[in-house]
Amino acid sequence: MKHNMSTLIPLAFIAVLSFFGSMALAQTPNVGAAEIVLEGGTSGNVTFPHQRHQQKIEDCMVCHAAFPQKAGAIEDLKTQGKLAKKQIMNEQCTKCHKEKKQAGEKAGPTTCTTCHVKQ
């Protein structure tokens, strides 16, 4: 079967795009779940919009300097006595939200019951 150049060039172009596109997808970092349910103690669990924070903050280490990027890390550190009960919430979450609000930027909630939901 003969192929002319007008058929081969588009096919080659599609093959190259497919190859590089699959490489780009393979190198996409693991961004985690869109939402993560965090243990909230007696106040109720917190549904944390993880990807929304990633899009806003961009530098994972802003939060993850205090705890590893793995499921259950905060609870594990609390159990080990390496984090106080409300340490992450007070020193990171509400602190950041209050700073953004003070700067006149769109900010997340600053009161406990807005995030903690009893079931």
* pTM for this predicted structure: 0.69
Question: Which pLDDT score, from 0 to 100, does residue 33 have?
Answer: 87
Nearest-angstrom CA–CA distance, 69 and 88: 14
pLDDT at 71 > cutoff 80: yes
Share the mean pLDDT of the chain: 82
Q: What share of the chain in percent tops pLDDT 90?
A: 63
Neighbours of 88 (CB within 10 A): 19
- Ordered domains of the chain (ranges, CATH): 36-117 (3.90.10.10)
Residues listed for the chain: 119
Question: Which pLDDT score, from 0 to 100, does residue 58 have?
Answer: 86
What does each C-alpha distance from 2 to 5, 27, 42 come to in angstroms? 10, 38, 73
What separation, in Å, do the N-terminal and C-terminal C-alpha atoms of the chain show? 68
Closest CA to 54 of 64, 46, 39: 64
pLDDT at 46 > cutoff 80: yes
Per-residue pLDDT of 103-112, as tens digits, reads 999 999 999 9
Expressed in percent and rounded to 5, the helix, strand and coil fractions of the chain are 55, 10, 40
**Confidence band for 90, pLDDT divided at 50, 70 and 90:** very high
Those residues with Cβ within 8 angstroms of residue 88's Cβ, 6 or more apart along the chain or in another chain: 66, 67, 74
Per-residue pLDDT of 77-86, as tens digits, reads 999 999 999 9
pLDDT at 23 > cutoff 50: no
